[in-house]
Amino acid sequence: MTTLAAEIVTSGTEILLGDIVDTNAAWIAQQLREAGVNLYYKTTVGDNEPRLRGVIELGMTRSQVIIITGGLGPTVDDITRQAIANATGCPLRLHEGALATLKERFARFGATMTDNNRQQAMIPDGAILIENPVGTAPGFIVEGERAAVIALPGVPREMKQLMTDTVLPYLRRRMGDATVIRRRILRTFGIGESAIDDMLGDLMYAANPTVGLAAKTGQVDIRIAARAGDAPTAEAMLDQLETQVRAHVGKYIYSTTPDETYETVLARRLAELNATVALLETNTRGAIAARLAAALPEHNPVAAGMLAAGSALPMALAELAAPDTLSTEARQQGAAKAAEWVRSRQPATLGIAVVGTAGADEGVFGKSNGESWLGLSDGRKTTTMLIPYGGQDEYTHVRIGNQVLATLRRWADERAGAA
């Protein structure tokens, strides 16, 4: 099975400086992945011919396919044609067929074709023209001994049309065999990236199929991918690899649905149990209740979400309104009492209280991380757990919330197992 090494180059100062988000490169990358092409590099270059030429020259030493988007318009800063011509040693020539198409298109729309539009018909000598049925700038392919340099318009609608109609079939012909890449995302919660890497061991070094990790705040995605001659074979390879991965870290995998959040899965489990939750939060400002309440449109498991306020609490718990003044032992005891109290105050299956410190500098590296205590009461027993950080920044709230949600999931699993 023949594969290709490819890279993507995006041309445009407005993209380099962040004025425009580069969606083209992401879309092209997805198409290459599905076609079985190996993508190794992405580069963004401003409207500077020497720099773009240098990127192309470097690309031709390390890749078999270079796809460039942008810089094919009629203005002075559209320098992609010249850069490719200089990098490949193929001087620009007027392509009479492309020029005729341009004239016909301007005439059809009753527009005047100015002299600078003629440069859109300038194509490197010997290049393969890519007709553009939805725009004025055609693309082209310059085939060298080692690499093919492919130029596409930067306008997304035009780029996608040329990529789909011409470039992808061209790449498949170059590969000689039909090849596909399939991938799957295993979403984990409650375990760090380094721990997963250690637990998966040799699986992390496999060449095909492959395993990769993508860490996010409080969550890690395990990406598995397989290359094969057809989709069913690739999927079967993924099935086998997923079984191996689950044998190591299966208890932390909560979903294989892209972008599905942990709280969505948890809310669905609580709905199955017909369970509701009443929460009291002293230092997370209602963030945990908000995450649970917004998780599932058809079911809100939050019976009540309360913030610590002295007037709303019974005298015995009034100090929870200012947990920074309490000792660690007092916070632990307060969390247990608060969980029991909030459950008794609301008709909820479960009472949860988060009592923690909220210093402004507690999540800053090198500073004290504070602490939070979680209290959980279901009417049969009350448990507490130390969460070894506090603070008032969003990142810390997410970390504390993740610990609470993971604990709630364990409770739900135990309840489901006992049913």
For the chain, the structural domain boundaries read: 5-175, 180-255, 262-418
Question: What pLDDT score was predicted for residue 327?
Answer: 87
Question: What pLDDT score was predicted for residue 294?
Answer: 92
Compute the distance between CA of residue 228 and CA of residue 342 in angstroms, rounded to an integer.
56
CATH classification of 180-255, choosing from 3.30.70.2860, 2.50.20.10, 3.30.1490.20, 3.10.20.30?
A: 3.30.70.2860
Identify the top-confidence range among 151-160, 168-177, 295-304, 324-333: 151-160
| Region 236-260 average pLDDT | 93
Task: Tell me the pLDDT band of 57, cut-offs 50, 70 and 90.
Answer: very high
CATH classification of 262-418, choosing from 3.10.310.10, 1.10.579.10, 3.90.950.20, 3.30.530.20?
A: 3.90.950.20
- The neighbour count for residue 363, using CB atoms within 10 Å, is 20
Token pair 């800063």: residue: 77
The tens digit of pLDDT for each residue in 96-114 reads: 988 888 888 888 878 888 8
Can you read off the two tokens belonging to residue 268? 């669905």
Q: What sign does the dihedral 134-137-142-147 (CA atoms) show?
A: negative
Q: If you average pLDDT over every residue of the chain, what do you get?
A: 89
Q: What sign does the dihedral 359-362-364-367 (CA atoms) show?
A: positive
For residues 179 and 36, is the Cβ–Cβ distance under 8 A? Answer: yes
Backbone angles phi, psi at 389, to 5 degrees: -160, 155
Task: Tell me the pLDDT band of 196, cut-offs 50, 70 and 90.
Answer: very high
The tens digit of pLDDT for each residue in 351-377 reads: 999 998 887 667 665 555 688 999 999
Compute the distance between CA of residue 54 and CA of residue 68 in angstroms, rounded to an integer.
13
More confident residue, 418 or 267: 267
Query: Which residues, in sequence order, are bridge partners of residue 176?
Result: none
| Region 37-52 average pLDDT | 95
Compute the distance between CA of residue 348 and CA of residue 371 in angstroms, rounded to an integer.
27
Q: Is 316 left (phi over 0), alpha (psi -120 to 50) or beta?
A: alpha
Compute the distance between CA of residue 269 and CA of residue 416 in angstroms, rounded to an integer.
9
347 CA to centre of own chain: 39
Identify the top-confidence range among 106-110, 112-116, 200-204, 227-231: 200-204
The tens digit of pLDDT for each residue in 267-324 reads: 999 999 999 999 999 888 899 999 999 998 888 999 888 888 766 788 888 888 888 8
For residues 70 and 15, is the Cβ–Cβ distance under 8 A? Answer: yes
| Region 380-384 average pLDDT | 94
Compute the distance between CA of residue 77 and CA of residue 48 in angstroms, rounded to an integer.
8
Task: Tell me the pLDDT band of 388, cut-offs 50, 70 and 90.
Answer: confident
Question: What pLDDT score was predicted for residue 178?
Answer: 61
For residues 56 and 87, is the Cβ–Cβ distance under 8 A? Answer: yes
The tens digit of pLDDT for each residue in 117-154 reads: 888 889 999 999 999 988 888 999 999 988 999 999 99
For residues 281 and 308, is the Cβ–Cβ distance under 8 A? Answer: yes
Compute the distance between CA of residue 202 and CA of residue 346 in angstroms, rounded to an integer.
50
Task: Compute, in degrees rounded to 10, the torsion defined by CA atoms 332, 334, 340, 346.
Answer: -130
Task: Tell me the pLDDT band of 418, cut-offs 50, 70 and 90.
Answer: low
Question: What pLDDT score was predicted for residue 419?
Answer: 59
Can you read off the two tokens belonging to residue 47? 């409207």
Which of 34-48, 121-135, 214-228 is predicted with the least confidence, judged by mean pLDDT? 214-228
Which of 43-57, 153-167, 350-364, 371-385 is predicted with the least confidence, judged by mean pLDDT? 350-364
Task: Compute, in degrees rounded to 10, the torsion defined by CA atoms 64, 67, 68, 73.
Answer: 120
Residues 6+ apart with CB under 8 A from 251: none
Enter the CATH code of domain 5-175. Answer: 3.40.980.10
Question: What pLDDT score was predicted for residue 102?
Answer: 86
Task: Tell me the pLDDT band of 116, cut-offs 50, 70 and 90.
Answer: confident
